[in-house]
């Protein structure tokens, strides 16, 4: 894999990214049971651009490869192949991506006071000189995310889920990042708390000119966060386009299916399970179009031939044999 640095307009440009996991049984079992090695392709030839100062969201059901992309972008995994080009920031240094995780409790050290959790990146990166300056910065960050100076004296377990996510946001901001990768940051929260944290994240984006790669399985969440949305299915992007355009004119049958499952305020108790059966295992992906076993429009061609990604006049990219220009 090559990682390069480019100027302007895009914070990150990703091309042909592939990530395969070796999920073979231990070698002795393979030897005794005469089993071959097994590989799981979690991310299959993905390309996208994250606009500088904007938000691209990745959306799709569980297991479609969203977190793997997040881990590739933040350097926690290395890709089998593909290119990642980060733009350089105003200081001339390449942007690096900071991660905000779904479960704020697991990512906060339970034995540390909140002020030390937030101070750690400041000290590590030597962003402030004296202890007094570090403290001052910690209080500033607590206030930025809607907490108070006295909250710094407490431990993570003394906070609610929403407050803990505010703490992890403060900690992420402590390293003064320009690019945040947010992997289902509000999925563990109640709907009302979710909205508060999402509003906070939008405000911070404006205030600090942040770039987001935002990840969610929920179309209603990404709608209000994103400039562009990439819909993923079984490790591939099946549709990617401008948020308004994607909601007004969803082109891919899977995008349409996802939009049908958005919770309806008038029918709040409607079953939200996505229709058309289960997502197939990435260990045995279907032939042709990976969506064909669930697709209401599938034809014989669909089980034989993988649809290539095409760019429509609207700027939407879509991978489906049936989609035509209007
Ligand atoms: N470290 C890993 N080892 C083996 N398989 C993995 C690993 N991480 C993810 N996978 C598999 O890759 C696929 C995509 O997973 P993931 O990226 O977590 O999807 P999502 O975040 O969209 O739910 C899943 O089938 C998952 O089981
Ligand atoms: S290529 Fe065929 S199976 Fe795949 S989404 Fe389009 S119509 Fe459905
Ligand atoms: Mg995930």
DSSP labels for 157-223? Answer: GGS-HHHHHHHHHHHHHHT--SEEEEESTTTTS-HHHHHHHHHHHHHHHHHHT-EEEEEES-HHHHH
Cα distance between residue 228 and residue 221, in whole Å: 13
Judge contact between 56 and 181, C-beta under 8 A: no
**217 part of a folded domain:** yes
Look at residue 65 in the predicted model and tell me its pLDDT: 97
Q: Rounded to an integer, what distance in angstroms lies between the CA atom of residue 262 and that of residue 18? A: 30
The whole-angstrom separation of Cα 132 and Cα 137 is: 9
Domain membership of residue 296 (yes or no) is yes
Whole-model pTM: value is 0.92
Identify whether 117 is part of a domain.
Answer: no
CB 51 within 8 A of CB 12: no
Cβ of residue 282 lying under 6 Å from some atom of ligand 1? yes
Q: How many domains does the structure of the chain reveal?
A: 1
CB 237 within 8 A of CB 48: yes
Residue 158 lies in a domain: no
Is residue 259 in a domain?
yes
Secondary structure, 3-state, 10-62: EEEEEEEEEEEEECCCCHHHHHHHCCCCCEEEEEEEEEEEEECCCEEEEECCC
Looking at the CA of residue 61, tell me the nearest atom of ligand 1.
22
- Answer yes or no: is the C-beta of 284 below 6 A from any ligand 1 atom: no
- DSSP H/E element including 300: helix 300-304
What local confidence, expressed as pLDDT, does residue 3 receive?
58
Within 10 Å of residue 295's Cβ, how many Cβ atoms? 19
Residue 134 falls within a domain, yes or no?
no
The b-or-e profile of 185-224 (16+ CB within 10 A means b, else e) is: bbebbeeebbebbbebbeebbeeeebbbbbbbbbbebbbe
To which residue do tokens 């006295």 refer? 150
If you compute the radius of gyration of the chain from its CA atoms, what whole number of angstroms results? 21
- Pocket test of ligand 1: the residue of 41, 59, 61, 63 to mutate, having most ligand atoms within 8 Å of its CB, is 63
Where residue 261 sits, what CATH number does that domain have?
3.40.50.300
Asked, for residue 224, whether it belongs to a domain, the answer is yes
Give, for all 326 residues of the chain, the pLDDT tens digit.
Answer: 555 554 458 999 999 999 999 999 888 888 888 888 899 999 999 999 999 999 999 999 999 999 999 999 999 999 999 999 999 877 788 888 898 888 767 779 999 999 999 999 999 999 999 999 999 999 999 999 999 999 999 999 999 999 999 999 999 999 999 999 999 999 889 988 999 999 999 999 999 999 999 999 999 999 989 999 999 999 999 999 999 999 999 999 999 999 987 765 444 444 455 666 788 999 999 999 999 999 999 999 999 999 999 999 999 999 999 998 76
CA-nearest of 198, 221, 172 to 57 is 221
The CB of 63 under 6 Å from ligand 1? The reply is yes
Q: Which residues pair with 179 in a beta bridge?
A: 97, 211
In a domain, 149, yes or no: no
Cα 93 off chain centre by: 23
Region of 58 please: left (phi>0), alpha (psi -120 to 50) or beta: beta
- Contact 64 CB / ligand 1 (< 6 Å): yes
* Structural domain that includes position 218: 2-96+177-325
Testing ligand 2's pocket by substitution, the residue of 60, 276, 299 carrying the most ligand atoms inside 8 A of its CB is 299
Distance separating the N- and C-terminal Cα atoms of the chain: 38
The ligand 1 atom nearest the CA atom of 60: 22
C-alpha–C-alpha distance, residues 313 and 136, integer Å: 51
């Amino acid at each position: 894999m090559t990682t390069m640095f480019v100027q302007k307009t895009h914070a990150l440009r990703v091309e042909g990214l592939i990530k395969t996991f070796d999920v073979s049984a231990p070698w002795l079992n393979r030897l005794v049971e005469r089993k071959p090695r097994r590989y799981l392709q979690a991310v299959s030839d993905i390309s996208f651009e994250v606009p500088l100062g904007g938000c691209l969201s990745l959306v799709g059901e569980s297991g479609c490869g969203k977190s793997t992309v997040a881990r590739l972008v933040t350097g926690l995994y290395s890709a089998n192949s593909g290119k990642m080009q980060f733009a350089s920031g105003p200081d001339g240094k390449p942007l690096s991506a900071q991660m905000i995780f779904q479960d704020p409790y697991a990512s906060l050290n339970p034995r540390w006071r909140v002020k030390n959790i937030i101070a750690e990146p400041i000290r590590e990166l030597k962003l402030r000189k004296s202890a007094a300056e570090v403290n001052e910065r910690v209080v500033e960050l607590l206030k930025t995310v809607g907490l108070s100076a006295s909250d710094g004296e407490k431990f993570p377990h003394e906070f609610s889920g929403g407050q803990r996510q505010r703490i992890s946001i403060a900690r992420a901001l402590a390293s003064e990042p320009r690019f945040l990768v947010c992997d289902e940051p509000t999925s563990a929260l109640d709907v009302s708390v979710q909205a508060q944290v999402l509003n906070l994240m939008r405000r911070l984006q404006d205030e600090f000119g942040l770039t987001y790669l935002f990840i969610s399985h929920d179309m209603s969440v990404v709608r209000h966060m994103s400039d562009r949305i990439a819909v993923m299915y079984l490790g591939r992007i099946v549709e990617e386009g401008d948020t308004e355009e994607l909601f007004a004119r969803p082109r891919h049958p899977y995008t349409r299916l996802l939009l049908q499952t958005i919770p309806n305020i008038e029918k709040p108790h409607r079953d939200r399970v996505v229709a058309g059966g289960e997502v197939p295992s990435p260990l045995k992906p279907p032939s042709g179009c990976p969506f064909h076993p669930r697709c209401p429009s599938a034809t014989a061609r669909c089980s034989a031939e993988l649809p290539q990604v095409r760019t429509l006049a609207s700027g939407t990219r879509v991978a489906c044999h049936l989609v035509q220009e209007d």
